[in-house]
Structure 1
Amino acid sequence: MSSEKQYMLVAAIDFGTTYSGYAFSFRDEFLKDPLKISANNWNAGSRGLVSLKTPSCVLFEPSKKFHSFGYEAEDKYAELALDNQHQDWFFFWRFKMSLYKHKHLSRDLMISDATGKNMPAIDVFACAIQFLSMDLLQTCKNQVSQIEESDIRWVLTVPAIWSDAAKQFMRESAEKGGIPSKQLLISLEPEAAAILCRYLPLDKLSVGSNALSPFEPGSKYVVIDAGGGTIDMAVHEIQQSGKIKELYKASGGHWGGANVDKAFIDLISEIIGKTVMEEISKSHTFDLMDLYREFEVKKRTLVPGQNGKAVFKIPFQFIEVYKLLTGKDVTNTIESIQKYKDSIAMKGDKMIIDPRVVHTIFSPSCYEIANHLEDLLEKCERHDIKTILMVGGFSESRFLQEQIRTRLPDCRIIIPADPGLAVLKGAVICGHDPSVVTARVSRYTYGTCTMVPFMSKIHPHSKMIKNKRDETYCKDIFAKIVQIGQSVSSEELHVLQINNPADEDKDVKDIQLFVSTKANPTFITDPSCKRIGCLQLDFKTPEHTQKYSVEVAILTSGTEVTVRVKNKSTGETKLENLDFLA
């Protein structure tokens, strides 16, 4: 990946769980004003609205040919559903989290659409990214017609807590979608948001005009990227140069705004019953999506402790299907449920919910986030962090804000204007200056497989092997190169030299790479370890010595990992990205 070339244009894509968007800026404009960033205005189709993001949904024809993305896909699917012609089409929405939930991610991953039909995940992601990139490119060419595709640095955002395999999956999806890999930068979402906030004036950070900037050299903070799917937390320190150093490995979990949406849908399902909800999900998918959207919009305005009740419009089909399948009126059913008879009511197609019930919808996610944040600050106690930067769409939730303020009253909470766009705009700045983060903390222990002389008092007998010279060795030793929690500078090379006894009938050696979630794994077969790649080196030399010497190096360049393997006898070197999807 070229980080030295000065690209004419930086184009960033923020592919989110619920909404996606893109933004861009030209280099000459960036040098004058880094905040001069253009974002697309999406026409919300049948809703008659204009927004800066579009729903993360993709529609394919029955032949699996790509049809549309975003609002256009929603409207077409709704049109098909009205005529009951949608069953053979493939409609994917809120599918990004599939890359986080699968522990053993591979290129062959299949994902299900809204009605349970499967397609290869890489095809779905690739088509979505291709649509966004082509739309972005056309928007840019409308401004500068002579721009060439080779003039563009592409930036794709991913959660910081995603695995290396998930990051690689997104890179390969983007490449399949037409973005040249050498022009693509993977940007971590909380980092991108923090980078933007560094440039924002104080009045855009909700800290007051007389307050000290939270981004002065020496400042430390936790950034919470609260999106629809994952919650990312990163701990940063501003260096004297103004660049960012990560102080603790990124962490978080699946507690985003979509979980609150699901809690609301689960409440509806509890009232109307599982059988009715399954029928609606299968035969009235778009009505279910309408309910999700109704809550998605309304939840941003809900305030903890408000005296008034929350009112939600329930799609007519919910009421009709319930009556058809049960012979009952949903209003009477609610009144018969002891715990809801005084807190939930139906009037026509309006569901009126008591504030106490609304609180139970938000509480689980907000509680998990605040718990994790408290735990993180305790682990980073020596850094004395008192500033919390909240970004992402879910950061707008007053319920989440109140939970964090209540649990951490001594911390300063900073929420920038338009927190939902912070990641996207920050990714553009990151594309112009990829070196803005000087050091990150490794989320894994990286190493390779080696052998050591067998010692009966230390090594299990099952690991003992003999070579052709009848020498005994212990196999499967995890030789550590980088340790979990270790601070690693950008472009830093971590080298390990291994001397192993040769196996004379093999001229080609497999150099295997492993990761572990433990700091000091003993064997590559430990439960915490996973094989992530293999490189082959030719060890046939004129001397054909009895031992071979290998230098294995991990290069932590930016947000991705590269390995370099060198045959010390011949000087042969291989440098390539690890294959986490093998």
Structure 2
Amino acid sequence: MQVVIAIKLGTNYSTNAYMKISGYGEDQKMFTVPFRQQTVSQLSITTPTVALFTDRGELEAYGFEAELKHAAPGKSENHMLFREFIWNLFSANDTVPENLESHDGRSMKSIDILSSVLTFMVDHVKRETGEMIDQEPIHFKHVFTLPTCSCTGARTFMTQAAEKAGFPLDTFTIVEEAAAALRVCLQQSPEDLVPEESQERMFLMVECEDDNVHISILNRNSENAIEIKYERNAEVWASCQIQKDFVEMFTLITGESFLSYFFEKYPIEYLELLEDLKKKIKITSPDTSRVAIKMSALLLEKMKKKSGKDIQKAAKQTGLADKVEFKMDKCFIFSETFKSLFTDAGKNIVDFVENSTIAKYPDINHVVLVGEFAQSRILQDIIRSAFPSKRIHIPQDANMAAVKGALLMGQTDVKVVRSQDFQRERTQILSDTNALGEVAQSPRAFRGASGTTTESKIKKSPTKPTPVNRSEKRNQSRLCVIQ
């Protein structure tokens, strides 16, 4: 019996997938071991990429449980919390840093953080699968993903961390998220995507995550190899565009950054609010008249106390009366307002793709959308309208495409290679990033009573969408922390 375990440590959230291979020709199914939130009665297939360590460097909690324990009285003083550590390891700088700073400024060796997290994630799956089935020993194979736009030395560092965690070199594989996502697309739509014999085919991969959009060009050749020809990062959301606009709507009502405060004090209710918002982003169609977001009674009560007035009256005074409506425990966002959350982000994606990739690779006919926001039908319509001559592919469970594809690659050992001109392209990208040091600006969707737009503080590019500004503090919005 062989069990393949895939672990995705994303820049915002982490997840897993596993498959049992018996060798008897049985159907092989993918499973995900959910993360149980001990303080609330719900399960989730993803958990935040957040780790809580003791002062002795021992991993005590991971994901949302790490946030909850950190918020407990007295915990923050003798524990170290690391948020967005995958971003800080692999994407914030040109090389992997030796140490990472915790939430309160203390430091810990990067390799100790990553090796401990890899051990936790694999053990989480093994506790459910067991180490023995029908008295037959199990051979485990592991696949660990890397962000597609990782810095120099990321693969080597991941290898060293896995070995330090106790995984022998011949028992694990490392793959880039975009290549893994393409692999699952090839399985789901082979008639459209798999090239004929001796024919190569290139794909434009657009990874629509909560914080950035990762753009890459992948070449699938007849030798079953996936070649990365191009990759680039863009903060087209202007620091979590869609979710941050939702935050700023309440900021206009309460007069302060209320949800940031609410997250620190009441993380359980905060998670429930965010989960409902994400669910509505996924299921809302472009012709929906209005979207209902469930609000906790505690949140509404605290908002009323902090603003000193009824929440609906406060909304009217800010000029949002025709955009949102509060009734009982629901916040109703009208259709045009909800769709406007996607407008700027969608336009930025289109501009970035046109300027950075299609202009250089005009023969690409296949565009693949994956990631959390790729599930939005509103965003899908924006992309389809912008590229009517391209074939747009969105795999099932687009937010899980990378980890499921990693599982398939661990089973079949699909080779991932970098093109010869990839390093030259990357050198030019880094040069452009250092020269510009800024990202595209996205105007905010909501206007206050005075008619002025609440705008992002991100600088505006004078010419074109630019690569992500490699800042250690890229996202200030709390809504980026919890997936």
TM range (shorter): 0.7 to 0.9
**Of the candidates 237, 240, 244, which is equivalent to residue 219 of structure 2?**
237
Q: Give secondary structure in 2 for the equivalent of 1:390.
A: strand
Q: Deviations over 1:164-203 (max 9, x none)?
A: 244455444444444345644321111111122223355x
Counterparts of 1:409 and 1:22, CA distance in 2 = 35
TM-aligned CA deviation for residue 108 of structure 1: 1.5
Q: For 2:392 and 2:80, locate their aligned partners in 1 and report how far apart those are by CA, in whole Å.
A: 42
- Correspondence list, 1:298-337, <5 A: 298-306=280-288, 308-337=289-318
Does 2:370 align with 1:360?
no
- C-alpha distance in 2 between matches for 1:166 and 1:28: 33
For 1:401, the aligned partner's letter is Q
Q: Compared with structure 1, are the counterparts of its residues 410 and 310 closer, same or farther at alpha carbon in structure 2 (3 Å cutoff)?
A: same
Contact 1:97 1:229 survives alignment (8 Å): no
Residue 213 of structure 1: aligned partner: 192
How far residue 313 of structure 1 moved from its aligned partner, in angstroms, is: 2.2
In structure 2, the CA distance between the partners of 1:284 and 1:520, relative to structure 1 (3 Å rule), is closer
Q: Which residue of 1 aligns with 2:4?
A: 10
Partner of 2:441: none
Residue 58 of structure 1 pairs with residue 48 of structure 2: no
2:429 is equivalent to residue 484 of structure 1: no
Q: Which residue pairs with 1:39 in the alignment?
A: 32
Higher relative contact order (CA 8 A, sep 6+): 2
Where 1:101 maps in the other structure, the secondary structure is coil
Aligned-pair distance for 1:118? Answer: 4.7
- Secondary structure class of the residue paired with 1:385: coil
What is the CA–CA distance in structure 2 between the aligned matches of 1:182 and 1:241, rounded to whole Å?
A: 23
For the residues of structure 1 that align with 2:420 and 2:151, how far apart are their CA atoms?
A: 14
Kept in 2, the 8 Å contact 1:8–1:152? The answer is: yes
- Report matched runs for 1:86-101 at 5 Å: 87-88=76-77, 95-99=85-89, 100-101=91-92
Residue matched to 1:69: 62
What amino acid does structure 2 have at the position aligned with 1:331? Q
Match of 2:276 among 287, 291, 294: 294
Distance 2:296 2:245 in 1: 18
**Residue identity opposite 1:133 in structure 2:** V
Unaligned runs of 5+ in 1: 1-6, 203-211, 445-482, 486-515, 522-526, 529-582
**In 1, are the aligned partners of 2:21 and 2:28 still within 8 Å (CA)?**
no
Contact 1:392/1:419, CA 8 A, preserved across alignment? yes
CA gap 1:177/1:290 in 2 versus in 1, 3 angstroms: farther
Q: Tell me, in whole angstroms, the C-alpha distance in 1 between the residues paired with 2:43 and 2:365.
A: 38
Residue number in structure 1 paired with 2:232: 251
Tell me which residue corresponds to 2:465.
none
Cα separation, 2, equivalents of 1:417 and 1:326: 42
2:428 pairs with 512, 517, 534, which one?
517
Report the 3-state secondary structure (helix = DSSP H, G, I; strand = E; otherwise coil) of the residue aligned with 2:359.
Answer: helix
Contact 1:260 1:365 in 2 (8 A): yes
Q: Give the equivalent residue in structure 1 for 2:244.
A: 262
Deviation at 1:284, TM superposition (A): 3.5
TM-score of the pair, normalised by structure 1? 0.63
| Equivalent residues of 1:304, 1:398 under 8 A apart | yes
- In the alignment, the residues of structure 2 paired with residue 190 and residue 413 of structure 1 have an alpha-carbon distance, to the nearest angstrom, of 16
Instruction: Give 1:132 shift.
Output: 0.7
Deviation at 1:231, TM superposition (A): 2.5
Give distance in 2, aligned partners of 1:136 and 1:334: 46
Change (3 A) 1:144 1:422: farther
Alignment correspondent of 2:381: 402
Q: What's the offset of the Cα at 1:41?
A: 4.2
Whichever structure has more strand as a proportion of its residues is: 1
Distance in 2, Cα, partners of 1:179 & 1:313: 44
The Cα of 1:239 is off from its aligned counterpart by: 2.4
CA distance in 2 between counterparts of 1:90 and 1:101 reads 20
Cα distance change, pair 87–346 in 1 and its aligned pair in 2 (3 A): farther
More helix by share: 2
Residues in 2 aligned to 1:404 and 1:35: alpha-carbon distance in whole angstroms = 34
Whether 1:373 and 2:353 are equivalent positions in the alignment is: yes
| Cα distance in 1, alignment partners of residues 430 and 403 from structure 2 | 34
Q: Give the match's secondary structure for 1:109.
A: strand
Alpha-carbon offset, residue 106 of structure 1: 1.2
Task: Give the Cα–Cα distance (whole angstroms) in 2 for the partners of residues 268 and 145 of structure 1.
Answer: 57
Q: TM-score if structure 2 supplies the norm length?
A: 0.75
Within the candidate set 17, 20, 36, 2:14 is matched to 20
In structure 2, do the counterparts of structure 1 residues 278 and 389 end up closer, same or farther at CA, with 3 Å as the change threshold? closer
Q: Give the letter aligned to residue 189 of structure 1.
A: E
Which residue of the partner structure matches residue 150 of structure 2? Answer: 162
Aligned counterparts of 1:395 and 1:279: Cα–Cα separation in 2: 29
Q: Which residue of 2 aligns with 1:188?
A: 176
DSSP 3-state at the match of 1:300: helix
Deviation at 1:245, TM superposition (A): 3.6
How far 1:423 moved relative to its partner? 1.3
- Is the 8 Å Cα contact of residues 232 and 429 (structure 2) preserved in structure 1? no
1:420 aligns with 2:399: yes
For the Cα contact (< 8 Å) 2:96–2:151, is it kept in 1? no
* Structure-2 change in CA distance of 1:355 and 1:14 (3 Å): same
CA contact (8 A) 2:175 2:416 kept: no
Partner AA of 1:346 in structure 2: F
Report the equivalent of 1:284: 266
**Is 1:111 aligned with 2:102?**
yes
The answer to whether the 8 A contact 1:276-1:321 is kept is no
Aligned mates of 1:143, 1:222 — CA distance in 2: 42
In structure 2, give the amino acid aligned to 1:262: K
The RMSD of aligned alpha carbons is 3.7
Mark the structure with the bigger radius of gyration.
1
TM-superposed CA distance for 1:66, in Å, is: 2.7
Which secondary structure does the structure 2 equivalent of 1:379 belong to? coil
For the 8 Å contact 2:48–2:64, the answer to whether it is kept is: yes
Cα deviation 1:224-254 (Å, max 9, x = unaligned): 23333442333233323343344x3122323
Q: Secondary structure at the match of 1:235?
A: strand
8 Å CA contact retained: 2:303, 2:311: yes
CA-CA distance at 1:436 after TM superposition: 2.8
CA distance in 2, matches of 1:438, 1:108: 29
- Structure 1 window deviating more from structure 2 (156-165 vs 428-437): it is 428-437
- Which residue does the alignment assign to 2:454? none
